[in-house]
Structures are given as structure tokens and as C-alpha cells.
Structure 1
Amino acid sequence: MTANSLIHLPSPIPALSKVYRVRESGSETQSYICLDRNERLQPLPDWFMEALRQAIDSQLLTSYPIQDPLLDLLAAQWQLPKSHLLLTPGSDGAIKALYQAYLHPGDGIVMLQPSYAMYPVYTQLFQAQAIQIPFAPDLSVDPHHLLAAIEPGVRLVMLANPNQPTGTLLEPAVLHQICQQAARVGALVAVDEAYYPFSQTTVVPWVQHYPHLVAMRTFSKAAGLAGLRLGAVAAHPQVVGNLFKVRSAYDVNSLAIVSAFLVLTHPQIVSDYVAEVKAGQEILEQGARSLGLVPLPTHTNFRLIRVGHCCTPGDLVAALRDRGYLVKGPFDAPCLAGCIRVTVGPPDLMAAFITTLQACMAALMNQTIGT
């Protein structure tokens, strides 16, 4: 009998039995061009990296983080009092804090389906009830269906806008209606604006008018700081205070704070990259159409592409992987049947991807003919 066999581990909370998550090391992706994560696909400028190196000294690493300079800058740029702002470890940290601070077991959460994968994970962990509003085959959402779902018993309306993985956007008029209906039933509205730099649609200014509205941003996409895990929340000071109570101590690190400060004081880092992505979108769209594929509209840095009858999404994803590209697909959601999702980058990268995509499709068609 070994020592380990004598150990009787306590059981985890029952909610964990319903949660399935894949643990990724990330090391296996280093030899691939990753078009499956919606990350920034262009290196940060050399001058930025040099400025960051100059900002790193021993004190930055040995002292606990100081958030005020970044919060002051955000307050000025977002035109909100600092009391309305909170830094979080990515927008994901804000989402979890929101669930932890406000949800009771059995509370209803209205969300779109499909949407960000962590929404249902946290819903299960905190024993809430998901009320999922499906997308139609054309990726539209019936606003009346969405509004009707916000009824007594709903504690939170959780929306990604633009949504991921559909790339779709709820219009401001619909968001106003959602905020008004949520106020009637005493629910919070959380809007995850991870892709704001690409959509330029935001509810951040609204938080001074809707005290039950929470807006969330991340520095992981256009800003290119995914490895540093930094996000920000805009909300009523009382909501900010409650989120602060459930956060870990010093959960935002100093390197992330310094890096974000540099990004915000040099806005061309984001704007130049957004322009590159828009140019890359055109290359990807034209190339996909030339191959008989259907690129779907998007307000983000990724593009859904319907592959049609030429091959299955699973076969195409596997073929691209064999040639060094990782893309997302296939999807379980009926509205995404036949789709792959491609992160969009600069034009030269998209042109190279289209060449590889064409080769993969030709190889798959030859296999089909051969059988």
C-alpha cells in the first residue's frame, strides 16, 4: 500500500461535476500560425518594446502594483469619475467577479447562444440558470424574444457586444430597451466589449445613466496584451465596490499596468492595427469568395466562413493544421453549421492564408474524387 492510497481527498463542490474544461499547455501551438484565438497577429512596435524595457526596473518587480496612474488615465479617456472604474485580470476576471458578487443559486441569466464559452461555465459554477437566446440561421437575434426573456427571477443579462463567435452586433436602440427592461425586473446588464476597437460601439458612457449597467473592456485583442491579462470595468460606484470586495488581492500585475499605460498614451498602437485588420478583412473576403466560400459579416477581428459543400469544416480545419494554420471549427451551434472561424490579421498574412486555404481545398477535393 502506497502513501497516496491512504489519502482521502475531500469532494469538490457538486457544481464542478457539470463543468468540462480542456486544459491547454499552449506549447503545442508554438509551431503554428494561430488564427484560432482572436489575438493580435502583428508584433508590437519596436519603439514600444524599448519603452517598456526602459520602464521595467527592480522596484516595479519587487513592489506591489500601483493602479492609480492607469485609472486616472482611463477616467480621463472614458470621461468617467475614477470611482466608476475597476481594473481586472482580463475581462474574464470581471465576468467571474460579477457572477460571484451578485448571483444566488437558481438566479436566471439571460445570454445569447452561442456566445463566449465562459458564460455557461460560470453559470454552472455559481448554480444559476441559463436562459439562452439562440441565433437564427442568418445570425440574427429576435429582440422581442430577448426582451421577453428578461422577466422576474432574472438576475443578470450577460451580453458580448460584438458577440463571439458570431461577430454580430446588437444595435444601441436594442441595448437601451434591454437596460430599461432589466431595470423593471431588478436585473444587472453586463456588456462585454472585448472587440470594441473593431466595432466602435460602446455603452461605457451609459453607466452614469443606468446604475445597473456594467461595461467591460480588455487589453487582449487590438492592444496585443493577451499575455498580461488586463481588463477594465465601467459601472456605478456601488457595483464597482461590490466587485472589488470579491477580487483577489493585487490581482492586476505591475507589468500589465505599465504596458496598458503605454498603449493608452500612444493610441496609434491600436488604431494602426485596426486599420491593418480592416485591410486584411478585404483580402480574406475576396479570397474566400474566389474559392466559392461565403464570408459572413463581422464587427470584430475574426471572420466566420461558410465552407459550403466543398468539404466539411472538420476536414478543412485538419488540413489547415497539417499545413501550419490553426483555425476554429467545427461548431456545435446550428446557426454555425458549415462554418470555420478565422482570426484576421494584416493583409500579407491573410494573402498567405488564402493560398494555403486554396491548396487545402484542392487536396480535399482530390481525395473525394479519388474515393
Structure 2
Amino acid sequence: MPAADAPEWIRDLFLTQAGEVQPYWRSRVGGAVNLANNEMRHPRVEELIRAAAARLLPEDWTSYPDYVRARAQFAELLGVPADRLLFTAGSDQTYRAVFQALTAPGTQVITQVPNYEQIFPYAALGGLSVHGVAHRPGTGFPLPAFLDAVSRAAPGSLVTVSNPNGPTGAWWPPHDLEALVDACAARRCLLLIDEAYGAFAPATVLNLAPRRPHVVVVQSFSKAFGLAGARLAVCVCGSPEVADHIQRWNVTNPVSGPALAVAADLAGRVTEMADVYAELAASRARLRELVPELVGGRAEESFGNFQPVRCPDADTAARCVAGLAKRGFAIRHLVRFGLPEYIRISTADLQTTDRLITALEQTVRDTPRRSTRC
């Protein structure tokens, strides 16, 4: 049956709230090794996932999830109080739930620019105003600029930081975040810390939330455990009241039973995952050492499972992406994040990383000489 346009009365009465926000449908990168989306690529993790999936019970599929039991289980695994913890379908849903539960139209959101892309449409849908603190090449996100923005924020504002930052890999150590936590408390602002990439950084502040009632920390299992398809994040709130309030806006069954079971299995594999993280760190170091020389650019320190590289110009970045795509590798051009000179390459096992380096060498060699390398 051919699709019909909605009649004018439906558009006028029901379809005006979204404004200029466009619908988003994610698709997979096909026919290439995906080093664009920071999904964990490691054969040992794939083995652990297959083994965990094989241990699933029929009731994991046939019954509704037992969130009370899962809450206690994950609280023990993470070392946080169970009454501060809730589940969301990825950190993406955490932003939606927090924005809906803890803000009102006109609330100011202070955040990094660039940051996770969906923050901005979610803010627009909620009628929130966004104040961005910009990334500075070579220095990341200056803490004084953030503290200054918070000092001028109205009480009730929401401050959100990704640490490490997804597009750039910039990271604030715990003592810097403590300063931001104190500044938010002084202005009576809520602070949401997104640690989607926290497993790859030197330290986490997950245990900070239970000690500070205005702090919410979210950790995703997509990056840290290779479970992007499972859609699972754990949100730890500073007080049980905040957790209960956000849960009122959360969907009734945010995460499937099989996803919870596999995630709990992997979270208990501390030794195996530590070995994986060590190899991914070695992959990141190799990318940081070799890619800038090949493309004629420079690399900034990254604390995520990826390495950004600043190319001489946007054309060089685009040619690197296109050349690698022809050779079976997908990497990210950060032009959509306002960083047109940057490319970002996800880490993987060292064998895959070496293949990527070889493909980039071929790209550079086969590209006609211009003012830049690629």
C-alpha cells in the first residue's frame, strides 16, 4: 500500500513538537572492518560473548527480566549501593531519561562541544538551552572555562561531561572532576558524567556518585565490553531519591534479560578483560605513533578506545577516509563534530591495527602528490 502524507490536521495538532530535529536511524557499516564507531573489535571478547550467550537459560528469553535481582548483582560487581543504580538501554537513553526527569523547558545545559551527538537534539526536543564549552586543539577542554560557565549558571541547570570525551579522547583526572563537582554544588546544578569510555582511561569516578547527591555517573557496556548491540548502560545516582525519580521516566523494561545475563558474565571476567584493555592501549599507542607521520598531521593524547589525528586540512582527512574505505576499513571523519581536519580511528587487536596501518600506507603511496600527504 503506498504511503500517504499525514493530513494537515495531524501535522498541526501532533507533529509540531519536534521543530527542526530530524529522525535518526542507525545503520551498520557494511563490507568493511568498522573502526569508525568505537565498537570493541577483539577476538578474545568475541569468544567471551559467544561463551556467555551459550550459557543463557530458556527463562532468560521467556520471562520478563528480574530487575531487582539484576540491580543487586550489578551493584556488587561495580561496588556501588543497589538503591542508587538503574539500567538504561545504553547511555543514549540515560540522557533522554535525565533530560525528561530532571529538567523543564528553558533549563540550561552546559556541555562540551563537541560531544555525543544526540545530546543536542534531545535538548531541543525538551526546550532546553545549550551552552557549549569548546574544545581547543592541543589542550582539550579547559577546566577554567567550564568552571566559569558553571559559576554563571542559574540554579537548576544541568551540566554534562563525557569523560573521556567521545569525539576527541580528552580526559579530566578525578581531581579536576572534583573541582567541577564542587562548582556544581555551589551553584545547585546537577552534574551528569558520561563514562562510556571510562574503561580505557587511567581512573573512573563511578564511586564518586554515591558520595555526592547532585552527581549522576553513567557507564555503558557498549564500548567497555563489546556489547553495543545489547543496549545496556548502568546509571549510578548520588541519592536513592534521584534514582527513583529518574526511574519514573525510564521505560518499564529498559534492557532485555539476555543482555543483562551476558553483561553480568563479562563484567565478572576481570582478568580476561584487563588483558584486552592492555592490547587496545597498545593499539592506540601504535596509531598515535605511526598515523600522524603517514598523513602529515599530529595526534593528541586520547584516553578512549580510539585515536584522533589532526590532518593538515579537511581535504587530507577526507582522502584518508575514502582511501581506507576502498581498502576495506571504515574510519571516522569528524567533520560532523565541527572538527573537519580530524580523523578518528578505533582501536582493535594489534593484528587488525597493523593491517589498518598497511592500508593507510598504501593509501598515502597511491594518492597523487599535493600539498598534503593523503
Verify same fold: TM over 0.5: yes
What one-letter code is carried by the residue in structure 2 that aligns with 1:207? A
Q: CA deviation at 1:269?
A: 4.0
* Structure 2 counterpart SS, 1:159: strand
Structure 1 residue 277, shift from structure 2 partner: 0.4
Aligned CA distance change for structure 1 residues 254 and 6 (closer, same or farther; 3 Å)? closer
Paired residues for 1:1-371 under 5 Å:
4=4, 7-8=7-8, 10-11=10-11, 12-26=14-28, 29-43=29-43, 44-46=45-47, 48-57=49-58, 59-150=59-150, 151-153=153-155, 155-235=157-237, 236-291=239-294, 292-308=296-312, 312-332=316-336, 336-366=339-369
Question: How large is the Cα RMSD of the aligned pairs?
Answer: 2.3
Structure 1 CA distance for aligned equivalents of residues 346 and 367 of structure 2: 22
- 8 Å contact from structure 2 (residues 81, 210) kept in 1: no
Letter aligned with residue 50 of structure 1: A
Contact 1:70/1:260, CA 8 A, preserved across alignment: no
Measured against aligned partners, the alpha-carbon deviations of 1:295-333 in whole angstroms (never above 9, x if no partner) come to 221001010012226952112211211221111114255
Secondary structure of the 1:250 match is coil
Query: CA 1:25–1:208 in structure 2 vs 1: closer, same or farther (change >3 Å)?
Result: closer
Give per-residue Cα distances to partners, 1:178-198, cap 9 Å, x unaligned.
212212222110000001110
Q: Which SS does the other structure have where 1:244 is aligned?
A: helix
Distance 1:142 1:50, change over 3 A: closer
Letter in 1 for 2:282: A
CA distance in 1, matches of 2:334, 2:357: 19
Partners of 1:5 and 1:152 lie apart in 2 by 43
Cα drift, residue 25 of structure 1: 3.2
What do the CA deviations read for 1:22-54 (whole angstroms, capped 9, x no partner)?
Answer: 43332xx23111111000111335365234213
- Provide the C-alpha distance between the structure 2 equivalents of 1:332 and 1:80, rounded to a whole number of angstroms: 36
| Cα distance change of structure 1 residues 254 and 301 upon mapping to structure 2, 3 Å threshold | same
1:13 CA displacement: 4.9
Contact 1:109 1:156 in 2 (8 A): yes
- Which contiguous aligned blocks of 4+ residues in structure 1 show a shift greater than 3 angstroms? 2-9, 12-15, 45-48, 366-369
Residue type at the aligned position of 1:55: L
Q: Measured at CA, do residues 328 and 231 of structure 1 come closer, stay the same or move farther in structure 2, by a change above 3 Å?
A: same
Q: Pick which of 10-19 and 189-198 moved more.
A: 10-19
Q: Is the contact made by 1:19 and 1:124 (CA closer than 8 Å) also made in structure 2? A: yes
The Cα shift of 1:74 comes to 2.3
Deviates further, 44-53 or 343-352? 44-53
Shift of 1:63: 0.9
Q: Is the 8 A contact 2:292 2:309 kept in 1?
A: no
Task: Tell me which amino acid in the other structure corresponds to 1:319.
Answer: G
Distance 1:199 1:140, change over 3 A: same
Alpha-carbon contact 2:313-2:340 (below 8 Å) kept: no
- How far 1:172 moved relative to its partner? 2.0
SS of the aligned residue for 2:196 comes to: coil
**In terms of mean alpha carbon deviation, does 275-284 or 108-117 score higher?**
275-284
Question: Could you tell me the TM-score, scaled by structure 2's length?
Answer: 0.90
CA pair 6-96 structure 1, distance change in 2 beyond 3 A? closer
Q: Cα deviation per residue 1:117-167 (whole Å; 9 max; x = unaligned)?
A: 111111111110001001122243232221121221552001100111010
User: Quick one: structure 1 residues 314 and 290, their matched pair in 2 at CA, closer, same or farther if it must change by over 3 Å?
Assistant: closer
Contact 1:67 1:257 in 2 (8 A): no
How far apart, in 1, do the equivalents of 2:165 and 2:5 lie? Answer: 47
Number of residue pairs aligned between Structure 1 and Structure 2: 364
Of 131-140 and 219-228, the range deviating more from structure 2: 131-140
Task: For residues 68-90 of structure 1, give each alpha carbon's deviation from its aligned partner in whole angstroms, at most 9, with x where no partner exists.
Answer: 34322322233322101111111
User: Where does structure 2 lack aligned partners over 5 or more consecutive residues?
Assistant: none
The answer on whether the counterparts of 1:110 and 1:154 sit within 8 Å (CA) in structure 2 is no
Structure 1 residues 79, 4: closer, same or farther in 2, change over 3 A? closer
CA gap 1:153/1:97 in 2 versus in 1, 3 angstroms: same
Kindly provide the CA deviation profile for residues 56-76 of structure 1, in whole angstroms up to 9, marking residues without a partner as x. Answer: 32x221211112343223222
